[in-house]
Amino acid sequence: MKKSTSLIDKEIGTRVRMRRISIGMSQEKLGEMLGLTFQQVQKYEKGMNRISVGRLVDIAKILGVEIHFFFDGIKSAKAEPGFAEDDSPAYIADVMSTPEGLQLIRTFTGIKSAKVRKSIVQLVASLAAQEEEERSS
């Protein structure tokens, strides 16, 4: 009997994908380094196939992160209500899953000046408010 994957498998796969994309690595390259096809990497990233611990350790090394990167903030499906920390907003994963969002984050984190970063945040907030006004009109 084949075991099915869970939401945790999907979350870990999403984190693999986000990290791979953030460092500019293709599925083909990751697969090659793991001795797998890009289709298998794709299945891991979509949560269709469960990633073994040994394989995840290999992936972490290749992607240049510690193994805990894939688990931080994941809660057990059996957690009792009221005791868990707040979830990260869904929009974070949404932004990280788009090429524009990743490019924005990559570029933004490269800016050393706090003053420039603050100006960029103010600009984006102003543009978002303007867009909202236009939609409301």
pLDDT tens-digit readout, 55-71: 999 999 999 999 988 88
Which architecture, in CATH terms, is 1-88? Orthogonal Bundle (1.10)
Of all residues in the chain, the percent with pLDDT exceeding 90 is 39
Instruction: Kindly report the pTM of this predicted structure.
Output: 0.61
The two structure tokens encoding residue 36: 């797998």
Determine contact, residues 25/63, Cβ cutoff 8 Å: yes
Q: What is the pLDDT of residue 85?
A: 47
Q: How far apart are CA 11 and CA 7, in angstroms?
A: 6
